[in-house]
Amino acid sequence: MEKEITIRIDSLTNNTKPKEESLPGWLALPGKARALVIFAHGSGSRRFSPRNRLVAGILQQAGFGTLLFDLLTPEEDQLYENRFNIELIAARLVSATEWLAQQQETRGLAFGFFGASTGAAAALKAAARLGSRIKAVVSRGGRPDLAMDSLAQVTSPTLLIVGALDEVVLDLNRLALAKLSAEKRLEVIPGATHLFEEPGALEMAAAAAVAWFKDHLLSSGRTLEAEAG
């Protein structure tokens, strides 16, 4: 079942001293979930992203918990540059992960990141900071090259999913793949462009993500249903 939550964070709007704010999100926890996938959307998108929601639904059907949340406050989002502030967004992912690790219903779960577009760079930077606490990362049509300075520090098994027709981004992902030292793979979706809008393309990307997370997230973490019982 999906429910609305709020995540407490420090807002850094207008370079003033931090003030506590909250970011809205949707948390879904299937009864037998042992792992939770935290989404990092691309610039200009929010938790309402139809593509991320489709992928989240497929992950939920496979037994994974999911969290989609807004990475910026409404005030921060008014400043266009913030949408491309990889450091800020990475810090939000770190804060959200640490918050989830303290909540009764999510602590003890294995955590993974799913990043799209620029959100993938933020997910990789956050994974580098969190180390072994992030068990896997998946990037869909991502820009891992924007996190090039952090890739060598990523210890999480990382899957880069790119459309075969997204040629520029595919080249950038190949460069990033070479910098990653953790377990890694590049998955190229035939006939897909950057947004995976072609029939069946997004579903193929989601299936690859499910397989990667099954291999790397389900070996640890508690079972919610078992604990409740």
Looking at residue 62, which CATH number applies to its domain? 3.40.50.1820
Does residue 30 lie within any of the structural domains?
yes
Give domain status of residue 229, yes or no: no
What whole-number distance in Å separates Cα of residue 71 and Cα of residue 24? 9
Nearest to 155 by CA among 185, 132, 179, 123: 132
Q: For residue 125, give its domain range.
A: 2-224
Q: Model confidence over 86-145: pLDDT tens digits?
A: 999 999 999 999 999 999 999 999 999 999 999 999 999 999 999 999 999 999 999 999
| Residue 107 located in a structural domain | yes
Question: How would DSSP label each residue in 10-37?
Answer: EE-GGG---EEEEEEEEEE--TT--EEE
Q: What percent of the chain has pLDDT over 90?
A: 68
Asked whether the whole model's pTM tops 0.85, one would answer yes
Which of these ranges, 29-38, 100-109, 136-145, 215-224, has the smallest mean pLDDT? 215-224
At 126, list the tokens: 């956050």
**pLDDT for res 48:** 65
- Could you tell me if residue 23 is inside a domain? yes
Per-residue pLDDT band at 79 (split at 50, 70, 90): confident
Half-sphere exposure of 80 (CA within 13 A, CB side): 0
